[in-house]
Amino acid sequence: MTAQKIPSLDVLVDQYLNYLLVEKGLSKRTLESYSRDLTRYHTFLLNNGVTNVSDSDTPLILKHLIALRDSGLEARTRARHLVALRGFYRFLVQEKMIGRDPARLVELPKISLKLPDVLSVEEVKRLLDSPDPKTPQGARDAAMLEILYAAGLRVSELVNLKFQDVNLEAGYVRVFGKGSKERVVPIGMYAQQKIQNYLDASRKRLLKNLISPYLFVARAGKPMSRQGFWKMLKRYSQKAGLHKKITPHSLRHSFASHLLEGGADLRAVQVMLGHVDISTTQIYTHIARDHLKHMHTKYHPRG
């Protein structure tokens, strides 16, 4: 099928971004990323005398990726560009503006694997044991660290947890992740106990007669900021004697890796992490495989 009379490129891009916002519920940050990538592709097409899209655009897509490479962009960034283009062209096919997806057969650039930082089980224990649960702030911090690791939360999900989102009797937490997508994640006995301790002894003292919908409260009943949690985590990391760079994501990575090392199903971990694409979760399998290889070498009689 050749190019037909369809809306201009900038109108199509706007329609697609609106579709991602309304139908897919993507976050503002993700939409901005898609917008930048598609705007750059739009400029590339115009610079090459192309004013409309077609189902025979495969050579143009390849040429664009080559131009991105020649401009010095890393493979990971070029791969992100291609993901944006694939989604855009799929949308055009779905809306019957073109008959075939020209990006479908274009392969993603090879990306060197960057493994996330992961703490050992012993290091996690030292970190989680570092707050003093006898003080109001310490009880709160202990519960926050424990649930971050217990449920593999993002820091934004943690600080925005509402009081009603945690069910201690059933042992689960309800989380609203990227794009306001809801998921339910089980939490273990340790997290349940530390949250209950915080609720029994500390939350009212921290609120000082104020009312707040948030589970973990800071000043004036407001939730802790992401920056505030980063500072708190850094302080407890130093107290625990952990001499490595630890971020809130370190505990999320450790949550996933420790589950897989223990034999958890990859798709179950994907659901708990809130990953839409299982390929995002698969990076953790490399860590699990390294662990298994180490165990085999250490314990197998002919390892």
CATH fold for domain 121-298: hpI Integrase; Chain A (1.10.443)
Burial class (CB in 10 A: 0-12, 13-18, 19+), 170: exposed
Q: What is the mean pLDDT of residues 205-210?
A: 92
Catalytic status, residue 86: no
Note the pLDDT of residue 165. 92
Mean pLDDT over residues 236-253, rounded?
Answer: 88
For the chain, give the percent of residues with pLDDT over 70.
Answer: 84
Residue 276 has pLDDT above 90, yes or no: no
Catalytic annotation present for 226: no
CATH architecture of 9-94: Orthogonal Bundle (1.10)
Using one digit for the tens of pLDDT, what is the confidence trace for 55-111?
A: 888 989 989 998 998 898 888 888 889 989 999 999 999 988 898 899 888 877 665
3-state secondary structure of 79: helix
d(CA 45, CA 63): 10
**57-71 tens-digit pLDDT:** 898 998 999 899 889
pLDDT score for 199? 95
Domain parsing of the chain, residue ranges: 9-94, 121-298
Catalytic residue among 154, 203, 253, 258: 154
Q: Where are the beta strands (DSSP E) in 177-218?
A: 182-186
Q: What is the mean pLDDT of the chain?
A: 84
pLDDT above 70: residue 282? no
Least Cα distance to 31 among 84, 98, 76, 110 occurs for: 84
Mean of pLDDT values over 255-271: 78
- Higher-pLDDT residue of 50, 270: 50
Which of 278, 288, 292 has its CA nearest to residue 254? 288
Of 284, 291, 299, 302, the catalytic one is 284
Q: Give 37's pLDDT tier (boundaries 50, 70, 90).
A: very high
| Catalytic residue check, 284 | yes
Query: Angle formed by the axes of helices 75-94 and 28-47, to 10°?
Result: 90
Which has the minimum average pLDDT: 18-27, 118-127, 146-155, 156-165?
Answer: 18-27
Residues 6+ apart with CB under 8 A from 159: 214, 216, 223, 224, 225, 226, 229
